[in-house]
Amino acid sequence: MRQTRVVVVGSANMDLVGTGPALPRPGETVLGSDFVMVPGGKGANQAIAAVRAGASGVFLGALGSDAFGVTLRARITAAGVDTGQLRVVYGASGVALVMVNTDGENAILVTPGANASFLGLTDGELDAVRQADVLVAQVEIPVETVTAAAVAARQAGTRVILNAAPARPLPDELLAAVDLLVVNETEAQALTGRGRDEPEALLELVPRAVLTLGGEGAWYVDRDGGATHVPAVKVDVVDSTAAGDAFTAALAVAWGEGREVLDAVRWAAAAGAACVRRLGASVALPHRAEIDALYTPPAG
């Protein structure tokens, strides 16, 4: 079977991750236990996750000229992602400050750095998008760039998956180019004004969507089949930081390989579950064998 070609347009950050017994409240200091520094950013995470799930992956984004940028490029490339068109701009790379409690819940502050300068797609970047089977994008980079990539993909017949995170308003031009929208409860509320009990509201924006609910699974909705609940795969949770990225990337890979979308969502749920069993972002992203081990095909 030919590898699915997934192109990810998005952010890259250095994640500074601290663990402790509880997340601090405003003005509070909590004594932590462990610290790790690992590559992250939703774009880089999803590119690495797509490769680990079995795709041929290309990452388009921007890094700073600092030491974090050097390390980020080296780590993303070492993961098997094509970084040949990854930009380097003068200044700081993106950084995420991540706090994780003993239940695996997290709080994250992201400073975009070089990600904010990723504007004006080049001819080479647009060609990469047009040659993909699936384009995956998020909105941790300028929305104008995401829109340009999605429109180019739509014109070329490339499927477009938008993980609309973090929550923010989206232009109609972008939504019109999206084939599949992936959002959590907060993001769904921001886009539709309605939450988890009305996933069908997303269909006013796009033809199909996934509303993720963490440990409660996800809703898949489309304009032909209505709403279907996909249960979560039960595992011991260590850190939920990159679970959504593992989910989105696996969804893109499975859909690009020709699975029905609902079955691709089930496989993606297994990927998210495999991810939360380890601490960190990119280091926790699962390989295909780990996803398959947790995946349960539909009965019949």
**pLDDT at residue 7, rounded to an integer:** 98
Which CATH number does the domain housing residue 205 bear?
A: 3.40.1190.20
Any domain includes 107 = no
User: What is the rounded average pLDDT of the residues 184-200?
Assistant: 89
120 is annotated as contributing to ligand binding: no
Please report whether residue 272 resides in a domain: yes
In a domain, 110, yes or no: no
Residue 214 annotated as lining a ligand binding site = yes
pLDDT for the residue 195: 74
Number of domains in the chain: 1
Residue 31 lies in a domain: no
**Does 215 show up as a binding residue in the annotation?**
yes
| Average pLDDT score over the chain | 92
CA distance 146 to 162: 9
Whole-angstrom Cα distance, residue 199 to residue 222? 10
Residues of the chain with pLDDT > 70, as a percent, come to 98
Q: Is 105 annotated as a binding residue?
A: no
Dihedral angle computed from the Cα positions of residues 128, 256, 226 and 137, in that order, rounded to the nearest 10 degrees:
-30
Supply the pLDDT for residue 237.
Answer: 80
pLDDT at 299: 67
The 10s digit of each residue's pLDDT in 203-256 is 999 999 999 998 888 999 999 878 999 988 888 887 777 889 999 999 999 999
244 is in an annotated binding site: yes
What's the rounded mean pLDDT across residues 90-102? Answer: 92
Domain presence at residue 286 = yes
Residue 111 annotated as lining a ligand binding site: no
- Residue 228: strand, helix, or coil: strand
Catalytic residue IDs: 245
Count CB neighbours of 122 within 10 A.
Answer: 11
Q: Assess whether pLDDT exceeds 60 at residue 40.
A: yes
Please check whether residue 22 lies inside any domain of the structure: no
- Residue 136 in domain: yes
* Residue 18 resides in a domain: no
Domain that holds residue 217: 5-11+42-93+115-294
Asked if 23 contacts 51 with a C-beta cutoff of 8 angstroms, the reply is: no
- Strands of 180-184's sheet in order across: 56-60, 5-9, 134-137, 159-163, 180-184, 208-212, 218-222, 226-230
> Which distant-in-sequence residues (6+ apart) come within 8 Å of 89 by Cβ?
62, 63, 64, 65, 114, 117
Residue 41 annotated as lining a ligand binding site = yes
Please, which pLDDT band fits residue 1 given cuts at 50, 70 and 90?
Answer: low
pLDDT for res 203 = 95
- Adjacent-strand bridge partners of 108: 98
